Chain A
Amino acid sequence: MPNSSHTLTIPSSTQHLREVRRFVEEHARAAGLSRPTVDEIKIAVDEACTNIIKHAYAGSDDQEVEVELTFSPDRLEVCLRDQGEPFDPSSYEEPDLVELTRRRRGGGLGVHIMRRCMDKVHYTCDDGYNEVCLTKYLNGNPAS
């Protein structure tokens, strides 16, 4: 697969999540990735985008989120960028489903999904810009 890159910028509102999923699906399928792999990438990017909108921007819908897909021969990397509050991954704890249910809360599951569906999740923060990069290694023949 040749190197290629595609970028989508959306306003920071959850009503654009569907557009992000379509964007990811369109390019990942065009690159020949299998349907289960596309589904995993799609939900991971949705969760990352949702976290930016809800937490980094605290629901403010007049900001922007940039989503960049980069296909290389051995991997797909999806980088999401924002200028909201940075996320500190060291503060993250794996969710306890039973405890969350007991406390009648449903949050905190997005990062777990991102980590389970992707091979690498990496956060950086530099000069007011936050970036989370999600990597999926394309072992074998992804089109199979």
Chain B
Amino acid sequence: MSTFSVSYRSTNGVQILDLHGELDAHTASDLEEAIQSCFEDGSVQLLVNGEELQYISSAGLGVFMAYVEEIREADGDIKIASLQPKVYNVFDLLGFPVLFDICDTEEKALHLFEEGNTKPSNEESS
């Protein structure tokens, strides 16, 4: 029985990935395949909606870290939205808000894509 799944939507050129279930070291490869598949299809504006994500461990967070640079180099971004508080806490614990746009609603994340932001505004350019 799989405890994690991804479903897809798109709006205004943004590929939305709806995450469901529990993301751990066993299921992280499913997210990896999903992001890789989007990237190979030419989608580089990725919005991850975590409204139905019940759990995440570092293995799941590691997937975002592994892909975000490549996607930004292709002028895209991974933005994260609608996380449940208990899941947001894990992102926050590791300092993810410094590296990623994490919005409380999908609309806010879409708006950031419309504005052309590709990184959190408080990150210094290297």
Q: Judge whether B37 is part of the interface by a CB distance below 8 angstroms.
A: no
Least Cβ distance of B21 to chain A in Å?
10
Could you list 18 examples of A-B contacts with CB < 8 Å?
Answer: A14-B26, A17-B25, A18-B22, A21-B24, A21-B55, A43-B55, A47-B58, A50-B25, A97-B99, A100-B65, A104-B65, A104-B69, A105-B65, A106-B58, A107-B62, A112-B94, A113-B90, A116-B93
CB-contact partner of A110 in B26, B58, B69, B98, under 8 A: B58
Main secondary structure of the interface of B (DSSP, over half): helix
* 7 closest residue pairs by CB, A with B: A106-B62, A109-B58, A14-B26, A106-B65, A50-B25, A14-B25, A106-B66
CB-contact partner of A46 in B57, B61, B96, B98, under 8 A: B57
Residues 19-44 of B, flagged 1 when their CB comes within 8 A of A and 0 if not, give 00010111000000000000000000
CB contacts (< 8 Å) of A97 on chain B: these are: 65, 94-96, 98-99
Q: Which residue of B lies closest to A102 (CB)?
A: B69
The answer to whether B62 and A109 touch across the interface, beta carbons within 8 angstroms, is yes
Least Cβ distance of A19 to chain B in Å?
11
Residues 59-78 of B, flagged 1 when their CB comes within 8 A of A and 0 if not, give 10111111111100000000
Residues 34-48 of A, flagged 1 when their CB comes within 8 A of B and 0 if not, give 011001000100110
Q: Given A17-B26, A97-B96, is A39 in contact with B86 using a C-beta cutoff of 8 Å?
A: yes
CB contacts (< 8 Å) of A107 on chain B: these are: 62
CB contacts (< 8 Å) of A104 on chain B: these are: 65-67, 69-70
